[in-house]
Amino acid sequence: MTHHSVLVTGAAAGIGRAVARHFLAEGWQVGAIDRDRAALAALSEECACARLWTQSCDVSDGAALASSIEAFMTATGGRLDLLVNNAGVLATGDFEAVAPARYDALIDINIKAVVRGCHAALPFLMTTPGARVINLCSASAAYGAPGFAVYSASKFAVRGLTEALDAEWRRHGIRVMAIWPLFVGTGMLAGHETRSTMQRLGVHLGPEDVARVVGRAARCPRWWPQVHWNVGLRGAISVLLLRFLPTWINRLVVRKLADY
């Protein structure tokens, strides 16, 4: 029996882990890559499923990421129905208070790894009918978020890449979509809980909420035009307001939320 296959980056914890478990429950062949070997081993032990393939990989290393994709393709016979670019890191605070090296790491993981992952996976996506790419974006890509400046900018990049590739890759029969959650209760938020925006909007989503939306995007009809998928009512309202209200109102709103 041929199973649909999905490769998830940053799959050892948080949203990535929930996405991997979701597709395992749906009967898919799941590739899970992450730099945390111990967490991957725990995932394998917990799931105890022959359809789960894991490999330790630092996605900021482009060569290592391409090698992991090749290895998973060897395991699946070259079938790649879905690539989920989930791996990401967060940096918060006044722009000048964060070390440039931290921003470099954020850009390497949040932007470059998405670009490199799409590039390395394309040959396999092209030969899999109905293939898709789903990128983890953020509500902070609707309007630049004070206190989250470079993180927000990285998600703007993901948004732009998603929109461009969804248009470009239609000639290959590949859909590209983005998931837009607000704050999600994962370990990535640890140490950032004091940010005013986070406190005022609250953390109302869990990893499973995001995984369910990823699942819906993966199953939607190919002709369905939706590129951006919001998670939860609060997220949908926030993104719609920020995208369609006049810029001067958005500026006032984000400054008020962030205390800037």
For residue 256, give the 3-state DSSP assignment: helix
Sign, CA dihedral 43-44-45-47, equals positive
For residue 106, give the 3-state DSSP assignment: helix
Secondary structure tally for the chain: helices H, strands E: 10, 7
- Residue reference for tokens 């029969």: 173
- Residue reference for tokens 């899970």: 32
**Distance in angstroms between the alpha carbons of the first and the last residue of the chain:** 57
Catalytic residues: 151
**Rounded-to-integer distance, Cα 39 and Cα 63, Å:** 22
Q: Which residues contact 49 (CB under 8 A, 6 or more apart)?
A: 24
Which of left, alpha, beta for 10 (phi over 0: left; psi -120 to 50: alpha)?
left
Q: Are 18 and 210 in contact (CB under 8 A)?
A: yes
Q: Are 54 and 108 in contact (CB under 8 A)?
A: no
Structure-token pair, residue 229:
């998928």
- The 8-class DSSP code of residue 112 comes to I
Amino acid at the residue 186: T
Q: Are 215 and 175 in contact (CB under 8 A)?
A: no
